[in-house]
């Protein structure tokens, strides 16, 4: 059985900061999973705009709630690799 997508507990946030503050760890994990799989929990594919919005939201959430070493940007490669 599919897990329903959790809803933010109010209609519309007043700001991006309010949105990030209202996000739960479950919402954060679901956004990460959606990005990794390229689709929502119900199987619907993410559009390019949704991918971009999700990534921005994840980065903002991580800046506020996740240790620097565990953030997405900390795991991205930088520069050229000697092994290439």
- Residue 8's pLDDT band, with cuts at 50, 70 and 90, is low
d(CA 61, CA 23): 8
pTM score, whole prediction: 0.67
Mean pLDDT across the stretch 50-62?
A: 92
Longest dimension (CA), the chain: 50
Angle between helices 25-37 and 48-65 (to 10 degrees): 140
Q: Has residue 64 got a pLDDT over 60?
A: yes
Mean pLDDT across the stretch 58-69?
A: 84
43: left (phi over 0), alpha (psi -120 to 50) or beta: left
d(CA 51, CA 43): 14
């Amino acid at each position: 059985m599919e897990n329903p997508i959790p809803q933010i507990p109010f209609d519309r946030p007043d700001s991006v900061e309010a949105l990030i503050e209202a996000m739960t760890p479950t919402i954060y994990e679901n956004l990460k999973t959606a990005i990794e799989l390229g689709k929502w929990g119900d199987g619907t594919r993410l559009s390019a705009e949704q991918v971009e919005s999700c990534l921005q939201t994840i980065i903002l959430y991580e800046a506020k709630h996740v240790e620097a070493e565990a953030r997405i940007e900390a795991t991205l490669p930088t520069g050229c690799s000697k092994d290439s």
